[in-house]
Structure 1
Amino acid sequence: MVRKGGAVLGLLTALIMLGVQVPGLAVAQQSYPSRPIHILLGFAAGSGADIGARFVSSELQKRAGQPVIIENRPGAGSNIAIGLAAKAKPDGYTLLLAASSAMAGSRFLYRDFKIETDKEFEPIAVLFDAAFVITVAPDSPLQSVAALTERLKGKTRNRYGYTNQTGQLAAAYYLAQVGASAEPVSYRTAADAVADVASGTLEFMVLDGGFAAGAVRNNKIKALAVTTAERSVSLPQIPTMAEAGVKDFVFAPFWAVYAPRGTPGDIVKTLQGWLREIYTSDAARQHHAITGSNVRFQDDTALRQRLRVEVEDWAKAVKAAGIEPQ
């Protein structure tokens, strides 16, 4: 004797295997998202990263038809946000927006960072490449990187600030290249660090371009150089580090969206499609021109490859800069 429920289940299974559309099932699969989507970000509200994240959430919720909420979880170089995202339910309702500096660099900078980011997340898409800026106090007599180098070499006790892995590595790499030294000081937010740059408590800081561009325009800090291969659209008067005399110096982390490992492929593709629409638009190019970053949409395959290469590059740069994990 065959139970009726078992027969129905068997029929549904057979139909699915044959590729036949089952109306009720199709509706269920197409219901994503049915509630708010949360994006974890390892930076504070008002930071350069937060400005970019708010643009993503605003544009994404237009397409998703549901609220897209940025959850700021600053601290430990984005490691807190990464850890929370890695443990989240893989249902498409918790995502991670993170820089390659955190996803590739944390393993070399933090002894207790055990997350294999290239294995524990589903890559969705690369969105943009970020610029960083070498900054000093607004009333500093220093007008160039060469002058900063001379000053650092002439003092016995120097300090620089950082809020993330790129800022730390870029500063340490610069010091190693020019033969100067300075003590690193970690800050939780860029706003706190900028106050100490402005007061002269810090000799310099390599600052996220998204935050630095506005601070430079408002005369809160002075920019000496950008870390990208080409000059920044938002700060075209500021030379690159190569132009400033420091060769082979390019630090431009890419920002990407990830989902917890195990997130269904159809949800990943849906999100990727929406992000492709956003990051091939004039609105995205105009927004990121203001913050000094370059729009660069790439799919999950390209993201996976870029992250692998980034890990290799970080291993080499950390060794060259002489940084020991903390």
Structure 2
Amino acid sequence: MRHLTRRNTLALSSLVLATPALAQRDAAAGWPQRPVKLVVPYAPGGTTDVMARLVAEQLGNKLGQPMIVENRPGAGATIGAGVVAQAEPDGLTLLMSNSGSHGVSPSLYPNLPYDPMKDFTHVALVVTSPSVLVVTKNNSAQDMAQFIAQVKRAGEIDFAVSGIGSSSHLTGVRLGMALDVRVTPIPYRGAGPAMTDTIAGVVPAMMDSLPSAASHINAGSVRALAVSSETRSPRFPNLPTLRESGVDVVNYAWFGISGPARLPAPIVQKLAATIRAVLAEPAMISRFEELTGSPPPESTPESYTRFVESEIAGFAPIVRAAGVTPR
């Protein structure tokens, strides 16, 4: 009788231990039961916002619930990222993580309000894109050679950036270092406000991501001089790279989707699979090409986690060498 009781006790214990796993699986099967919030840590109008809205619409269609984009700009993308780090891990609050919030900021801010690895579940890399140097249309520099001569005469560059610690900021700093001139980044709460002031001539130049700047370049509102990619953009084949213009700088911004730490594994896998399905659609691939962005061949939670770790390590020496400090 004692032996039977022990078996019953073991069976009951196994059932109790299995209950949380079963509950997680059941929750993922019905997830999401209501709209999902995707936090963008920059103001509307920039590349992070554009990419987020494009992906959110398609993800919402496939998941059967709206995915609502919420802009929470400020402090080099750390305010919005901090909001998600503190959110409930129920899959209903996600972040458009990026090279600013999870690449540069860990080295830039000594009192970062989150740990970029421990406080997040990184789900998938979505897209990468190069930066582009643009000047006001009234600038006398018609090409990169004339711009280089102009800033070398002045000994300095003033340029607008979408935020301290953004990819465009670090690309601009690296440009100044390569040209051996003093750089003064003028930070804004996103690429949209920064571009507005560049078009108006409040600032003479801007380092922006190419997807964000493309429509303004095509409209003639600003003049593009060079891109930061390894090779020329198919969308702008006449636009040289910084490297072929004599400036040895190559840099890409990147954007992905992350959630709070301890996001249930079944939800992570379902979300990652849905993201892969969205990115594989011909219409989405075509739209990314129009925006001059490149989706990865395939991204998993494991590969994106490793990618974020490598970017943190890669940006650290650049931030130190540039002497960049938050404002």
TM-score, with length taken from structure 1: 0.89
Contact 1:158/1:181 (<8 A) preserved: yes
Check whether the contact 2:106–2:116 (CA below 8 A) recurs between aligned residues. Answer: no
Please, which runs of 5 or more residues in structure 2 have no aligned partner?
1-7
Give the match's secondary structure for 1:231: coil
The alpha carbon displacement at 1:174 in A equals 0.7
Give the 4+ runs in structure 1 shifted more than 6 A: 8-13, 16-19
Instruction: Return the offset for 1:212.
Output: 0.3
3-state SS in 1 of match to 2:77 = helix
Partner of 2:199: 198
- For residues 114 and 25 of structure 1, the distance between their equivalents in structure 2, rounded to whole angstroms, comes to 28
Aligned residue in 2 for 1:259: 259
* 5+ long unaligned stretches in structure 1: 1-7
Instruction: Assess if the C-alpha contact under 8 Å between 2:123 and 2:301 holds in 1.
Output: yes
- The residue identity in structure 2 corresponding to 1:298 is S
Which residue in 2 is equivalent to 1:243? 244
Q: Does structure 2 retain, via aligned residues, the 8 Å contact 1:161–1:205?
A: yes
1:150 is matched with: 149
Task: Please report how far the alpha carbon of residue 43 of structure 1 lies from its aligned counterpart in structure 2 after TM superposition.
Answer: 1.9
How far the C-alpha of 1:250 sits from its partner, in A, is 1.2
- Specify the alignment match of 2:324 in structure 1: 323
Kept after mapping to 1: 8 A contact 2:25/2:266: no
Answering whether residue 137 of structure 2 is matched by residue 138 of structure 1, we say yes
Deviation per residue, 1:187-215 (Å, 9 max, x gap): 12323222332343323211122210011
Q: What is the identity, as a one-letter code, of the residue corresponding to 1:255?
A: F
Q: Does the C-alpha gap of structure 1 residues 100 and 182 become closer, same or farther in structure 2, counting only changes over 3 Å?
A: closer
Counterpart AA for 1:279: L
Spell out the pairing of 1:95-244 with structure 2 (5 A cutoff).
95-155=94-154, 158-164=157-163, 165-244=166-245
Q: How does 1:1-150 map to 2 (within 5 A)?
A: 14=14, 29-150=28-149
C-alpha separation between the residues in 2 aligned to 1:56 and 1:26? 25
Cα-to-partner distance string for 1:231-266 (whole Å, 9 max, x where unaligned): 22332221111111112x111022111110011000
**Closer, same or farther: CA 87–160 of 1 in aligned 2, 3 Å:** same
Match of 2:4 in 1: none
Residues 232 and 293 of structure 1 are in contact (CA less than 8 Å); yes or no, is this contact kept in structure 2? no
Using the TM superposition, give the Cα deviation of residue 17 of structure 1 relative to its aligned residue in structure 2, in angstroms.
7.0
Distance 2:71 2:177 in 1: 33
- TM-score, length basis structure 2: 0.89
| Residue type at the aligned position of 1:281 | E
Q: Answer yes or no: is the 8 Å Cα contact 2:39–2:93 preserved in 1.
A: yes
Do the aligned residues in 1 keep the contact of 2:28 with 2:267 (CA within 8 Å)? no
Looking at structure 1, the residues matched to 87 and 18 of structure 2 have their Cα atoms a distance apart, in angstroms, of 34
The alpha-carbon deviation at position 146 of structure 1 amounts to 2.6
3-state SS of 2:268 partner: helix
| Aligned match of 2:301 | 300
Alignment partner, residue 5 of structure 1: none
Percent of aligned positions that are identical: 27
CA RMSD in angstroms, aligned pairs only:
2.6
Give the whole-Å Cα distance in 1 for the aligned partners of 2:30 and 2:197: 49
Per the TM alignment, residue 81 of structure 1 is displaced from its structure 2 partner at its CA by 0.7
Paired residue type of 2:34: R
What is the CA distance between 1:312 and its match in structure 2?
1.5
Quote how far apart the aligned CAs of 1:67 are. 1.1
Deviates more, 1:118-127 or 1:278-287: 278-287
CA distance in 2, matches of 1:212, 1:299: 29
Residues 1:74 and 1:17: Cα distance change in structure 2 (over 3 Å): closer
Contact conserved, 1:160 with 1:203, CA < 8 A, in 2? yes
Question: What is the Cα deviation at residue 46 of structure 1?
Answer: 2.8
Structure 1, residues 118-174: CA drift from partner, whole Å, max 9, x if none?
221011011111221111012322122232122112226642111131111111111
Residue in structure 2 matched with residue 3 of structure 1 by the alignment:
none
8 Å Cα contact 1:49/1:210 also seen in 2: no
Could you give the per-residue CA deviations for residues 54-86 of structure 1, whole angstroms, max 9, x where no partner exists? 111111111111111111111222111100000
Contact 2:44/2:192 (8 A) holds in 1: no
Once residues 9 and 44 of structure 2 are traced to their aligned partners in structure 1, the CA distance between those partners, rounded to angstroms, is 49
Query: Do residues 272 (structure 1) and 236 (structure 2) align?
Result: no
